[in-house]
């Protein structure tokens, strides 16, 4: 079963929802123009492929239309660290100077839209305040996410990191959802989760199983991750949910 087919079951809002989110706030004519631009520059990548490699030349700016993307850095010994995970309607900025600071890796089948700088300038000319406000909000949210994760990467236990990971991604996946069922799909192997939270895949497994055995989560159906006891998870992760929501989710949603 494809990733889209799976998430279609779990998420509300079908294909096209990303476009709505991204053009949200624009007037009608700008909206059609931007949507056209996005569709024109859209490209597909299969799960497991690299969209950009660290050190490659790249456009400064990508929009993720669909699928999950990991931003990876790696050491010579082969160890990989995922710096951030990018979800649909979010933005990838591989950094200035035209050279990417990390691998951009497709966790699932992915549709992204490379936005060349001159196109961006055109958009800005069309609707300057909205465009940059929106970008600034997205990148502030990304910074906050990374800081929060870094805190736990440096100071937290394995359990705390996993609990935080589950909470963060649940919040982000269901940010624009109104249903409260605490069920979502994590299209990542335990290896990839480990690369994200700084643990070996073996210990990710052990930690998830412990949470599962204690009834806090349910991973028996590995297409759906269920958080049974959100308060306990948030407590283990040392999260103040409302504060975290305000910080890591772009406000307009």
Which chain residues interact with DNA by CB under 7 A? Answer: 1, 157-159, 189-191, 194, 198-203, 205-206, 208-209, 219, 222
Binding at 206: pick from DNA, a second copy, none (beta carbon under 5-8 Å per type): DNA
Minimum distance from residue 4 beta carbon to a second copy (Å): 30
Let me know: does 100 contact 117? Beta carbons within 8 Å. Answer: no
* Edge-to-edge strands, sheet with 80-86: 50-52, 103-106, 69-74, 80-86
Give me the least distance between CB of 9 and DNA, in Å please: 14
Shortest Å distance, C-beta 200 to DNA = 4
- Least distance in angstroms from the C-beta of 128 to a second copy: 11
Q: Does 44 bind a second copy (CB under 8 A)?
A: no
Of 108, 128, 113, the residue nearest 35 (C-alpha)? 113
- Compute the least distance from the CB of residue 45 to a second copy, in Å: 21
Question: Considering CB distances under 5 to 8 angstroms, the limit depending on partner class, which of DNA, a second copy, none binds residue 200?
Answer: DNA
Measure the N-to-C terminal CA separation of the chain; round to a whole number of Å: 29
Q: Cα Rg for the chain, rounded, in angstroms?
A: 18
Show the binding pattern over residues 153-172: x = contacts a second copy (CB under 8 A), - = does not: xxxx----------------
Asked if residue 129 binds a second copy (CB under 8 A), the reply is no
Q: Which CB, 60 or 187, lies closer to DNA?
A: 187
DSSP annotation of 57: B
User: Which stretch, 17-25, 61-69, 99-107, 214-222, contacts a second copy (CB under 8 A)?
Assistant: 99-107
Sign (positive or negative) of CA dihedral 165, 170, 171, 173: positive
Provide the residue count of the chain.
253
**What's the rounded Cα separation, in Å, for the pair 72 and 74?**
7
Distance CA 218, CA 119 (A): 45
- x/- string (CB under 8 A) for a second copy, residues 186-205? ---------x-xx-------
193-224 burial, b at 16+ Cβ within 10 Å, e below that, comes to bbbbbbbeeebbebbbeebeeeebbeeeeeeb
Binding positions for a second copy, rule: CB under 8 A: 55, 71, 73-77, 79-81, 83, 93, 95-97, 99, 101-102, 136-137, 139-141, 143-144, 146-148, 150-156, 195, 197-198, 238, 243, 246-247, 251
């Amino acid at each position: 079963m494809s990733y889209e087919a799976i998430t279609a079951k779990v998420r509300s809002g079908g294909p096209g929802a990303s476009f709505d989110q991204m053009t949200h706030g624009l007037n009608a004519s700008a909206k059609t123009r931007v949507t056209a631009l996005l569709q024109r520059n859209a490209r597909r990548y299969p799960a497991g492929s690299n969209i950009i490699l660290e050190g490659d030349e790249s456009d400064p700016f990508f929009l993720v239309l669909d699928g999950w993307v990991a931003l990876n850095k790696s050491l010579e010994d082969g160890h990989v660290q995922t710096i951030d995970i990018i979800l649909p309607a979010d933005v990838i900025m591989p950094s200035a100077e035209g050279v990417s600071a990390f691998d951009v890796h497709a966790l699932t089948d992915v549709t992204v839209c490379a936005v060349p700088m001159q196109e961006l300038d055109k958009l800005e000319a069309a609707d300057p305040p909205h465009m940059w406000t929106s970008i600034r909000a997205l990148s502030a949210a990304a910074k906050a996410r990374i800081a929060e994760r870094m805190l736990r990467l440096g100071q937290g236990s394995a359990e705390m990191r996993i609990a935080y990971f589950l909470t963060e991604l649940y919040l982000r996946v269901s940010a624009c959802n109104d249903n409260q069922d605490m069920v979502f799909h994590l299209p990542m192997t335990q290896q990839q989760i480990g690369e994200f939270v700084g643990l070996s895949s073996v210990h990710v497994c052990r930690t998830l199983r412990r949470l599962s055995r204690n009834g806090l989560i349910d991973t028996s159906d590995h297409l759906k991750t269920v958080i049974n006891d959100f308060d306990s998870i948030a407590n283990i992760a040392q999260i103040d949910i409302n504060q975290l929501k305000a910080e890591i989710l772009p406000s307009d949603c």
